[in-house]
Structure 1
Amino acid sequence: MNRSKILTDGALLTAIYIVLLLISVFVPLIEIIATFLLPIPFVVFAYRYDWKPSLIMLAASVLLSSLFATIFSIPGTLLMGLGGIMIGSGMHKKLTPYETWARGTFGFIIGLLFIFLISQLVFDVNWINEIDSLIDESMQMSKGLMDQVGLAGEAEEQLKLMQQQVEMLKNLIPVGVALIAIVLAFISQWIGYKVINRLERKKFFFPPFRNLRLPVSLVWIYFFAVILTLFNLDPSSIFYHAINNVLVLAGLLMTIQGFSFMFFYAHQKNKSKAIPTVIVIVTLLLPTFLLYLVRILGIIDIGFRLRDRISKE
Structure 2
Amino acid sequence: MNQSRNLTDGALLTAIFMVLLFVSIYIPILIIVLPIPFIIFASRYGLKASLVMLTIVVLLTAIITGPLSIALPVLMGLGGLMIGSAMYQKSSAYETWARGTLGFVIGLLFVFVFSQLMFDINWVDEFEKAVTDSMEMSQRLLEDMGVGEQSEEVQEMIEAQISAFRDLFPAGLAIISLIMAFISQWFGYKMINRLEKKNYRFPPFRTLRFPTAIIWVYFLALVFSFFDLESSGILYSGVNNLLVLTGFLMAIQGFSFIFFYAHHKNMSKVLPVISVILTLIFPAMLLYLIRILGIIDIGFGLRDRLAKKD
Is this a same-fold pair by TM over 0.5? yes
2:230 is matched with which residue? 234
2:14 is matched with which residue? 14
Listed as ranges, the matches of 1:66-85 within 5 Å are 66-85=62-81
Is the 1:22–1:69 contact (alpha carbons within 8 Å) kept by the matching residues of 2? no
Instruction: Decide whether aligned partners of structure 1 residues 201 and 133 sit closer, same or farther in structure 2, where only a CA change above 3 A counts.
Output: same
Shift of residue 294, structure 1, vs aligned partner: 1.2
Please identify, of 281-290 and 208-217, the stretch whose mean Cα deviation from structure 2 is larger. 281-290
Shift of residue 265, structure 1, vs aligned partner: 1.0
Listed as ranges, the matches of 1:95-244 within 5 Å are 95-244=91-240
Shift of residue 2, structure 1, vs aligned partner: 2.1
Instruction: Decide whether aligned partners of structure 1 residues 191 and 296 sit closer, same or farther in structure 2, where only a CA change above 3 A counts.
Output: same
Shift of residue 220, structure 1, vs aligned partner: 0.7
2:24 is matched with which residue? 24
Please identify, of 148-157 and 233-242, the stretch whose mean Cα deviation from structure 2 is larger. 148-157
Shift of residue 147, structure 1, vs aligned partner: 2.0
Whole-angstrom distance in 2 between the partners of 1:192 and 1:156: 49
2:248 to 237, 249, 252: 252
What is the aligned residue count? 309
Shift of residue 280, structure 1, vs aligned partner: 2.3
Is the 1:254–1:298 contact (alpha carbons within 8 Å) kept by the matching residues of 2? yes
Is the 2:43–2:85 contact (alpha carbons within 8 Å) kept by the matching residues of 1? yes
In the superposition, the TM-score normalised over structure 1's length comes to 0.94
Query: For residue 31 of structure 1, what is the amino acid of its counterpart?
Result: P
Q: Secondary structure at the match of 2:121?
A: coil
Identity %: 54
1:289 is matched with which residue? 285
1:141-187 residue CA offsets vs partner (Å, 9 max, x unmatched): 22221221112343333312221122112222222211211111111
In the superposition, the TM-score normalised over structure 2's length comes to 0.95
Q: Specify every segment of 5 or more residues in structure 1 that has no aligned partner in the other structure, as ranges.
A: none
Q: Secondary structure at the match of 2:70?
A: helix
1:101-155 residue CA offsets vs partner (Å, 9 max, x unmatched): 0100110010000001111112222223323332332232222212211123433
Whole-angstrom distance in 1 between the partners of 2:153 and 2:6: 64
Whole-angstrom distance in 2 between the partners of 1:36 and 1:225: 34
Following superposition, which runs of at least 4 residues in structure 1 exceed 4 angstroms of deviation? none
Q: Secondary structure at the match of 1:272?
A: coil
1:44 to 40, 46, 52: 40
Shift of residue 70, structure 1, vs aligned partner: 4.6
Whole-angstrom distance in 2 between the partners of 1:300 and 1:196: 37
Instruction: Decide whether aligned partners of structure 1 residues 153 and 290 sit closer, same or farther in structure 2, where only a CA change above 3 A counts.
Output: closer
Whole-angstrom distance in 2 between the partners of 1:296 and 1:154: 35
Please identify, of 56-65 and 268-277, the stretch whose mean Cα deviation from structure 2 is larger. 268-277
Please identify, of 141-150 and 74-83, the stretch whose mean Cα deviation from structure 2 is larger. 141-150
Is the 1:21–1:69 contact (alpha carbons within 8 Å) kept by the matching residues of 2? no
Whole-angstrom distance in 2 between the partners of 1:12 and 1:177: 32
Shift of residue 302, structure 1, vs aligned partner: 0.8
Q: Secondary structure at the match of 2:119?
A: coil
1:5 is matched with which residue? 5
Whole-angstrom distance in 2 between the partners of 1:294 and 1:274: 17
Whole-angstrom distance in 1 between the partners of 2:125 and 2:236: 21
Please identify, of 284-293 and 199-208, the stretch whose mean Cα deviation from structure 2 is larger. 284-293
Whole-angstrom distance in 2 between the partners of 1:162 and 1:211: 39
